[in-house]
Structure 1
Amino acid sequence: MSYYTPPGGLPAQTELLTDRAIVTEAYTVIPKGVLRDIVTSNLPGFRGTRSWIIARPIAGFATTFAQLIVEVAPGGGAERPEAEAGVEGVLFVTSGELTLDLDGARHALGPGGYAYLAAGETWSIANDGDAPTSFHWIRKAYEAVPGIAAPASFVTSDADVAPEPMPGTDGAWATTRFVDPDDLAHDLHVNIVTFQPGGSIPFAETHVMEHGLFVLEGKGVYRLNGDWVEVEAGDFMWLRAFCPQACYAGGPGPFRYLLYKDVNRQVRLTGPGGVGAQAGG
């Protein structure tokens, strides 16, 4: 398996500035050509590290999560990457090797390595190799539910989890699920969706989950709120809740993307973050 990793750099002065970036009220597309040196961010407490912040809560954009592509140079890392005790996270490595110290145990995550980090967990990261390493870091404020214990942290990999074919697709559309979708302890899913050439979502999904999709491999065509949008490895898409979405794989090889969704929680109407609070009620 291969996973797209941004190389950074800057385009030549002779290149056209036209690109495929799109920002609408219903969806946003950040193409791989945007992920250049000039748009990186530094992170407090990190050594030898830069990041591309591709989603964050902001008016007209993501509401439930933040997503970063983090590049760590040899010798770099962080002793306390997550500064907010109530925030859970997922790490997914696309290149190099990341050393993860998690609650006293050390894990070496290569390409395809996956870690779920529970809110309040003790963890640190380092690049102990001689080449840069890159990973996705998805962050979300954990929403606890009375009577349901919070999930525990765990480490696995893309290679260790078998994709589950969607019913009636003969394997043309499959999802690699890193947690049980019926486990109500989890309020986010970060999975990998795979379409074989010609595979498709054959209807316009319109549902409550907010989506973050980073294309890991291949290319496809997405139908987003009535628009046809071509995407390829390295592109990121954000989809608002209820944004109509469908797609088909458009290349000679598999079309795969890392998918974030908020799940398994009742719609909050009162209290902090509720509709009533936002409306002043």
Structure 2
Amino acid sequence: MTDYYSPTGGLPPQTDLLTDRAVFTESYAVIPKGTLRDITTSFLPHWRKMRMWVIARPMTGFAETFSHTITEVAPGGGSENPESDPTAQAVLFVVAGHAELTIGDQTHLLFPGSYAYLPAGCAWSFANDHDAPCTFHWIRKAYVAVDGIAPPDPFVTQDADAPVIEMAGTNGAWSTTRFVSPTDMAHDMHVNIVNFQPGGTIPFMETHVMEHGLYVLQGKAVYRLNRDWVEVEAGDYMWLRAFCPQACYAGGPGPFRYLLYKDVNRQMPLTLR
């Protein structure tokens, strides 16, 4: 089974240096795993025994289309009313522990690698009736409906069961684990896993319209963000503004994998939000 990084909180000792890799610029941000401490957690109403690290939210000069939290639910915790926004669709991706996700009248056991898509307005609940915390990524976006296209249905699957699509000419050095087909116009966001084998690269400076959120699940690499090369490792998060130039080199020794959010499949709005 693939290992997924999961934050543990805590605090560094008083003897630690303050220097870290955290950076926030006009075109990108890097939130390293060392910032995910007990005192940087938040809480939500209608949830029991939970805490979360907010690593992206809509605000001026930062994420515009989505929010991304890492949510930890202790044994006995959960919610029967988890989502307060009826326009919000969501993806849950589990990185540690077990829990039960109920969608309508169907209950699914979640475990590391579980992936759930929850459309806007979907009735769902979450319960951890196990003996260890369950940690999952919770990515939310307001759904943009299109006349004549029915919204997506909910589904639950696993990382191990999703198709892996190799990038052309890379012999598997660069691939994407796709949970939704890129040609399915019902979906206006993609949350997939990008995979690099040691030595794999993005061999050109990608510059395109999608806003990106990247959480490193496994491994390490050097990532080009605008004018800068930054080192990233499992547990780090990167936000890239639309059109921010990017490239990547995975140095090894093991695979480099990240959970990737992008907004897709909709015409460009002509007014600023």
TM-score of Structure 1 vs Structure 2, range by shorter chain: over 0.9
Confirm whether residue 171 of structure 1 aligns to residue 172 of structure 2. yes
Instruction: Write the distance in 2 (CA, Å) between the matches of 1:126 and 1:249.
Output: 37
Instruction: Write the distance in 1 (CA, Å) between the matches of 2:72 and 2:120.
Output: 23
Confirm whether residue 151 of structure 1 aligns to residue 152 of structure 2. yes
1:170-202 deviation line (CA, Å, top 9, x unaligned): 000000000110001000000000000000000
Instruction: Write the distance in 2 (CA, Å) between the matches of 1:254 and 1:86.
Output: 36
Aligned match of 1:231: 232
Mapping 1:47-66, distance limit 5 Å: 47-66=48-67
Instruction: Write the distance in 2 (CA, Å) between the matches of 1:13 and 1:251.
Output: 32
The one-letter amino acid paired with 2:269 is R
The one-letter amino acid paired with 2:68 is Q
Q: What SS is found at the alignment partner of 2:186?
A: coil
CA deviation after TM superposition for structure 1 residue 73, in Å: 0.3
Aligned match of 2:75: 74
Question: Once the two structures are aligned, what percentage of the paired residues are identical?
Answer: 68
Q: What SS is found at the alignment partner of 1:38?
A: helix
Aligned match of 2:45: 44
Q: What SS is found at the alignment partner of 1:191?
A: strand
Instruction: Write the distance in 2 (CA, Å) between the matches of 1:42 and 1:118.
Output: 23
Aligned match of 2:218: 217
CA deviation after TM superposition for structure 1 residue 45, in Å: 0.8
Instruction: Write the distance in 2 (CA, Å) between the matches of 1:19 and 1:103.
Output: 44
- 2:62–2:241 CA contact under 8 A, matched in 1: yes
Instruction: Write the distance in 1 (CA, Å) between the matches of 2:129 and 2:170.
Output: 42
The one-letter amino acid paired with 2:210 is M
Mapping 1:89-128, distance limit 5 Å: 89-128=90-129
CA deviation after TM superposition for structure 1 residue 162, in Å: 2.7
Aligned match of 2:193: 192
Aligned match of 1:134: 135
CA deviation after TM superposition for structure 1 residue 250, in Å: 1.7
CA deviation after TM superposition for structure 1 residue 137, in Å: 0.1
Instruction: Write the distance in 2 (CA, Å) between the matches of 1:254 and 1:98.
Output: 27
Instruction: Write the distance in 1 (CA, Å) between the matches of 2:243 and 2:38.
Output: 34
The one-letter amino acid paired with 2:7 is P
TM-score, length basis structure 2:
0.99
Instruction: Write the distance in 2 (CA, Å) between the matches of 1:14 and 1:207.
Output: 43
Instruction: Write the distance in 1 (CA, Å) between the matches of 2:123 and 2:224.
Output: 41
CA deviation after TM superposition for structure 1 residue 3, in Å: 0.3
Confirm whether residue 2 of structure 1 aligns to residue 3 of structure 2. yes
RMSD over aligned CA atoms reads: 0.7
Number of equivalenced pairs: 272
TM-score, length basis structure 1:
0.96
Instruction: Write the distance in 2 (CA, Å) between the matches of 1:171 and 1:103.
Output: 39
The one-letter amino acid paired with 1:171 is G
1:225-270 deviation line (CA, Å, top 9, x unaligned): 010000000000000000000001022000000000000000011x
Instruction: Write the distance in 2 (CA, Å) between the matches of 1:82 and 1:99.
Output: 16
Detail structure 1 runs of 4+ shifted over 3 Å in the superposition: none
Instruction: Write the distance in 2 (CA, Å) between the matches of 1:79 and 1:88.
Output: 17
For structure 1, the residue ranges without an aligned partner over 5 or more in a row are none
Instruction: Write the distance in 2 (CA, Å) between the matches of 1:213 and 1:198.
Output: 19
Instruction: Write the distance in 1 (CA, Å) between the matches of 2:222 and 2:34.
Output: 17
- 2:163–2:179 CA contact under 8 A, matched in 1: no
- 2:80–2:125 CA contact under 8 A, matched in 1: yes
Instruction: Write the distance in 1 (CA, Å) between the matches of 2:163 and 2:86.
Output: 32
